[in-house]
Amino acid sequence: MWPWIRKPLQWLNQQQCVLISKVRVQQLHSSSSEFTDTCYNGLYPGHIPTTPIQRALLAVGSGVAALRDPYRHDMVAVLGETTGHLALINLRDRMRNDPEGYTILTERPRIRLSTLDLSKMASLPDGSFGREYLRFLEDNHVTPDSRADVKFVDNEELAYVMQRYREVHDLLHTLLGMPTNMLGEVAVKWFEAAQTGLPMCALGAVLGPLRLNASRLQSLFTSLGPWALQNGRRARCVLSIFYERRWEQNLEDLRQELNIEPPPVILSASNKRST
């Protein structure tokens, strides 16, 4: 780690620990009886309130850590929560104005292993959205349970919008046909930056290419990048799709419904962390 940033980051880590301790104390005092989600007196279970200064410090510290290691999903998560307020409002409003998106905001579905019927998904025909999503999870050795819960968003509904964004990220990989290697992740970030306006996505889209070699840079700038930006701008709001009710739908039909073109380049799921 760069010497000049080591001490500030250590202090930021200490501040985050203090914040987490504070919310645990609040939870313990929220009721004289056993703690449950229903008696929580904060905005939502796990919420850690922060001051503007604390949010700024968390944003800077998590941003530096995420730059050093884009696979630090915990730091990427904190960066998204502390910088995405305006973008989350816009996404929430787009969901409210879409009948399917409004239903999602009302019912609050979660995409976790506990909510997925993997056996049923495995029995779906090749080419169906559910079967291809399951294949993506298996080929790339990922799980929807790896997505961290939101902590630093100071609005309960916006916190759910951020949570939904995180949980549909792997579904976007499936829709876009992108694996989880660095080139695939950067292409998805370009799409997400154009689609969501989240600063975290824009930062990943700008800095992600720095970790690619020459041949992958050429592929990004000549084909994958323009395709991702164009489709991100024109596609229907990807948070407004009730994916849990679309598993049996043909993947190509779903892409057409969302106005997403198939990828111009087919990438392999091998060498996940290769750059």
pLDDT for res 25? 47
In 10 A of CB 227, how many CB atoms? 21
Q: Is the pLDDT of residue 105 over 90?
A: yes
Mean pLDDT of the 158-165 span = 97
Question: For 158-185, what is the mean pLDDT?
Answer: 95
Residue that the structure tokens 């084909």 belong to: 223
pLDDT at 18: 57
Rounded mean pLDDT, 129-140: 95
Handedness of CA 200, 201, 207, 208 (dihedral sign): positive
Q: 275: pLDDT confidence band, cut at 50, 70 and 90?
A: very low
pLDDT mean over 55-82: 82
- pLDDT value, residue 35: 26
Ligand-binding annotation for 244, yes or no, is no
What pLDDT shows up at residue 13? Answer: 58
Q: What is the distance between the alpha carbons of residues 43 and 204, in angstroms, rounded to a whole number?
A: 29
253 close to 129: Cβ distance less than 8 angstroms: no
pLDDT at 26: 45
| Residue 169 labelled as part of a binding site | yes
Q: For the ranges 23-27, 64-68, 72-76, 183-187, which has the lowest average pLDDT?
A: 23-27
Asked whether residue 170 is marked as a ligand-binding residue, the answer is: yes
Q: Is 114 exposed, middle or buried (0-12, 13-18, 19+ CB in 10 A)?
A: exposed
The Cα–Cα gap between 184 and 136 comes to: 12
What's the confidence (pLDDT) of residue 33?
A: 32
pTM equals 0.82
Q: Which of 61-65, 96-100, 249-253 has the lowest mean pLDDT?
A: 61-65
Specify which residues 128 forms β-bridges with: 250
Confidence at 98, pLDDT banded by 50, 70, 90: very high
Average pLDDT score over residue span 90-100: 97
Chain centroid to Cα 123, Å, comes to 27
